[in-house]
A and B are shown apart, each in its own frame.
Chain A
Amino acid sequence: MGKQKPQPDGALVQGTLDMLVLKTLTRAPMHGYGIAQSIQQISDEVLRVEEGSLYPALHRLELDGMIDSEWGVSENNRRAKFYRLTAQGRKQFSKEASEWKRLAEAIARVLETA
Chain B
Amino acid sequence: MRRIRKKIRALWLRRRLDRDLEDELRFHLEMKAEESGGSLEARRRFGNPAAWKESCRDMWTFVTLETWWRDIRYALRTLGRNPGFTVVAVIALALAIGADTAIFTIVNGALSWNLGLDRIDRVVVINATDATHSQQFGASYPDFLDFRARTKTLAGLAAYSLVPANLSDGSGLPERYWLVQMSANGFSAAGMKPLRGRDFTPTDERPGAPPVRSTFDWRRAPGNTHAGYGSIRQRQSSRNPVARWSKLAVASLAAKALHSLVEPLMHLVQLAALVGV
Contacts and interface: CB of A to CB of B under 8 A. Distances in A.
Contact of A32 (B6, B24, B30, B47): B24
A55 interface: yes
B148 interface: no
Interface in B13-42: 20, 23-25, 27-28, 30-32, 34
B128 interface: no
Interface residues of A, number: 22
A58 to B, nearest CB: 8
A65 B34 CA distance: 32
A63 B7 contact: yes
Interface stretch (B53-61, B90-98, B101-109, B183-191): B53-61
Interface string A23-39: 00000000111000000
A56 B52 CA distance: 7
B55 A56 contact: yes
B52 A63 contact: no
Contact of A64 (B3, B27, B60): B3
B226 interface: no
Interface residues of B, number: 23
A51 B32 CA distance: 11
A64 B28 contact: no
A97 interface: no
A71 B55 CA distance: 21
Nearest to B25: A55
Contacts of A62: 6
Contacts, number: 57
A51 B3 CA distance: 23
A113 B263 CA distance: 71
A31 B55 contact: no
B16 to A, nearest CB: 11
A13 interface: no
Nearest to B56: A59
A78 B7 contact: no
B3 A80 contact: no
Contacts of B6: 62-63
Interface of B: 2-3, 6-7, 20, 23-25, 27-28, 30-32, 34, 46-48, 51-52, 55-56, 59-60
11 contacts: A51-B28, A52-B48, A55-B24, A55-B28, A55-B56, A63-B7, A63-B60, A64-B2, A74-B27, A76-B34, A78-B27
Interface of A: 1, 31-33, 50-52, 55-56, 59-60, 62-65, 71, 74, 76, 78-81
The 6 closest A-B pairs by CB, nearest first: A33-B31, A59-B56, A80-B27, A81-B24, A33-B28, A65-B2
